[in-house]
Amino acid sequence: MSMSAEHDDALDDEVLRQVVGELRKPVRLDPSLDRRALDRIQAESHRIAPPASRRWGIWIAGAAVAAGVLLAVTLPDRGTTPARASAVALEQAALAGDARPVRLRLAAPTSSRVAVVGDFNDWDPAATPLRRAGDGGTWIVELRLKPGRYHYTFLIDGRRWARDPNSPPAAESDFGAPVSVLTVS
């Protein structure tokens, strides 16, 4: 190896040591850099955020969703037994697994038609007519009712109320008509 080549190698080594030395020195950052970076991020987030009116809209929508869920959970469903649905109500009771067969009878040999009204058919005079039995004097209807306590009365010929003599009378008579009580167990 020539002297010139050795000198070049030595020079290269010296340059390399100086470079490495500079790289190994600790980096000194501006102490305000963190603060400036955070300020910049905050400014950018304000620019990206929706306007106040839109934020309010989202809050209102969220509150409405929460209120809707709350109402749906807490309010009872009155729609399951709709109006004028006595026959439907009876059918639903019959379809229910715990419905019990109940037979009501009334001796009314001179009557031309008999119906029963009560808690089980929304007190609808047209919902539950009785049929004349074979003896001609007795009127009969079969119901299927869930266990519970029902108030009812018979309507004879569309104009006269008659309590069921085979059932206990209602303890109360709010409206003056004779009413019976049926307990299905």
Q: Is 85 exposed, middle or buried (0-12, 13-18, 19+ CB in 10 A)?
A: middle
103: closest CA among 137, 135, 131, 84? 131
87 binds another protein (CB under 8 A): no
- Binding to another protein, residues 102-141 (CB under 8 A): 102-104, 117, 119, 122-125
What one-letter code names the amino acid at 166? N
21 binds another protein (CB under 8 A): no
Question: What are the helix and strand counts (H, E) for the chain?
Answer: 4, 7
Instruction: Give the DSSP letter of residue 78.
Output: G
57 binds another protein (CB under 8 A): yes
Q: What are phi and psi of 154, to 5 degrees?
A: -95, 150
Smallest separation, CB 155 to another protein (Å): 8
158 binds another protein (CB under 8 A): no
Interaction site with another protein (CB under 8 A): 54, 57-58, 60-61, 64-65, 67-68, 71-72, 75-79, 81-84, 102-104, 117, 119, 122-125, 147-149, 151, 161, 166-172, 174-177, 179, 181-185
